[in-house]
Structure 1
Amino acid sequence: MILLTGFEPFGGGSTNPSWAAARDAAARLRNEGLDAQAVELPCVFGDAIRVLEAALERYRPELVVCAGQAGGRSRISLERIAINCDDARIQDNAGNSPVDRPVVDGGPAAYFSTLPVKAALAALQAAEIPAEVSQTAGTYVCNHVFYGLMHALRLRPRTRGGFVHVPYEPAQLPPGSTDPSLPLDQLAEALAVVVRSSLATAVDLKIPAGATH
């Protein structure tokens, strides 16, 4: 079973392409005969992890792909690492703005994704979808969920998971905006590609996708 998640709108936005993409990707995968479900997470520290953990318990997936919006990025970002730090520049949807607080008290400093991020990168590039391996998921609710997911999966060794950031979709942008965006159809297909490549890959590829800064 495959679980995809996205977030509700935040920061004054009326939509969040991560949720629309996760929902549409799950539908695409079901049409291909795969058992896939999508769950919308609240953009709230703490609550988001609780909803995610409830979904893990309910669906008991073999693969989890969480998605979030990264406005300003121009590519699908395959996140490599989650850090044990909440440091909010803006309030979440419940008015919380933690500063320098651990996601999990006493947890390790970081967790790596267990998705084959390099294989997913190659598959996205083959599909002509702009993509990159990202070395930071930030310190807002996206990283909070990514870390919470990987912390939960330490007790589910047969389940792989990770996090993907998506850019804006064009409908979110005001006229004249120069912010990068990708069509929703492409965002949904990107998440489906990540799932397909993850299911097909037991050992990740060894290809360069690092960063110099």
Structure 2
Amino acid sequence: MTILVTGFEPFGGEAINPSWEAVRRLNGDMGDAHIERVLVPMTYADSIGTVTEAIDRLHPAAVVMVGQAGGRAELSIERVAVNCDDAQAPDNAGVLREDAPIAAEGPTAYLATLPVKQIVAGLRSAGFPAAVSNTAGLFVCNHLFYGVLDHIITHNLETRAGFVHVPFLPEQVVGKPGTPSMSLAMIVAGIDGIVAIVTSNARP
């Protein structure tokens, strides 16, 4: 069984992105699951295609997309992706999108097809701060989340997919008083736990 896990490149003036720093440190194999990792560009134009190409090539049982959400204090398991790009900041290509649909003919929203509440319960029982989130934002993270679900559903694929937002790393909050952070070791362990739950859920 293959599980695809993705993380983003740095953006917004940050030198690192905890999503990719964690994803690239995951073990390549977890039990009977083989983990494939993909670095995603923080751009509207290339993010979706980077991941859907990997899906079509690898045929994973599940996709766990990971992104940075500065200001959050816990592992946020996203429930819903909405068909709208609307951010005040440009992506890494300098593109600014406001009130723009992601898929012109697509539905207003898609729900994650990973077991969101089961993941949160499993993380909490293992001692990780985690919660269900009902907004993945309207920037490139949500753009990717929606686009991947749209690809899976419109192509009738069996792959399940979901999105996880992680906090800043401690070194990213220097000079940002009151901003929460989480250690890289905890983020890596949390994603390991998510992959284990997803793998167990994906077995026949």
Report the Cα distance in structure 1 between the residues aligned to 2:59 and 2:177, rounded to whole angstroms.
Answer: 42
Name the residue aligned to 1:208.
none
**Aligned to 2:38, what secondary structure does the other structure show?**
strand
Q: Name 1:205's counterpart in structure 2.
A: none
Between the two proteins, the alignment pairs up a number of residues equal to 200
Take 2:112 and 2:30, find their aligned partners in 1: how far apart are those partners?
27
CA deviation vs aligned residue, 1:61-85 (integer Å, no higher than 9, x gap) = 1110001000000010000000000
Is 1:174 the counterpart of 2:169 in the alignment? no
Distance 1:45 1:36 in 2: 25
Partner of 1:106: 105
**What TM-score comes out, normalization by structure 2 length?**
0.93
Alignment of 1:131-210 (within 5 A): 131-154=130-153, 155-174=155-174, 177-201=177-201
Q: Is the 8 A contact 1:149 1:162 kept in 2?
A: no
User: 1:7 Cα deviation (Å)?
Assistant: 0.3
Deviation at 1:176, TM superposition (A): 6.8
CA distance in 2, matches of 1:70, 1:190: 15
Cα gap change, 1:90/1:36 in structure 2, threshold over 3 Å: closer, same or farther? same
In the alignment, what sits opposite 1:18? 19
Residue aligning to 2:10: 9
Q: Is the 8 A contact 1:119 1:201 kept in 2?
A: no
| TM-superposed deviation, 1:31 | 5.3
**TM-score calculated relative to the size of structure 1:** 0.90
Residue pairs, 1:66-85, within 5 angstroms: 66-85=65-84
Which moves more between the two structures, 30-39 or 185-194? 30-39
Q: Percent identity?
A: 44
Are 2:33 and 2:199, in contact at CA under 8 Å, matched by a contact in 1?
no
- Determine the structure 2 residue equivalent to 1:211: none
Unaligned runs of 5+ in 2: none
* Amino acid in the other structure paired with 1:16: N
